[in-house]
Amino acid sequence: MDLCPCGSEKAYADCCEPLLEGKAHADTAEMLMRSRYSAHAKKKYDYLFETTLPESRKEEDRKETAAWSRKLDWQRLTVRSLEAGGPEDEKGTVEFVARYRKDGRAFEHHEIAEFVCQDDRWYFKDGHAPQQVQSVRQGPKIGRNDPCPCGSGKKYKKCCGK
């Protein structure tokens, strides 16, 4: 059984293949997002163009997306969160991380994608990177000349701070 690249754990023939072949349409924003990932993995670039909101489509985007994606080895998709996007909704948002390899190096594409439903069909509208979360130190700052917290008796800069 050929598993679907979208990470659903379903057979490709029972999951995204009918969408990519034009035999069915996505019922939800998440389903469309997963099928668009599968389109990258299966190199079905026309599907990406056809499932983009008609007023957002640009021929040069079709070519650039295909050229970019063709160089990548798509590894795994993780859906982080969903907001609306069900069969009865008109809009939906899907936060996801798509992992891929390029020239043997691993990369992640983290995006919050917006979808709209028009005439009973879901379309990709736009995507943006999530806001970065600032981390805050939980303890006091260790100075270079302070004793090392590991208990060695050495200065931090000569021990764990090396």
- Residue-wise pLDDT for 97-132, tens only, equals 999 999 999 999 999 999 999 999 999 999 999 988
Topology of the domain comprising 12-131: Nuclear Transport Factor 2; Chain: A, (3.10.450)
Going from N- to C-terminal start, the domains of the chain cover 12-131
- pLDDT (0 to 100) of residue 82: 97
Q: Which residue in 88, 64, 66, 81 sits closest to 30, CA to CA?
A: 81
Residue 144 tokens read as 């270079």
Q: pTM for the whole thing?
A: 0.81
How far, in Å, CA of 130 to CA of 133, rounded? 9
Check if the beta carbon of residue 124 is closer than 8 Å to that of residue 115. Answer: yes
- What is the maximum alpha-carbon separation in the chain? 71
Q: How far is CA 39 from the centre of its chain?
A: 13
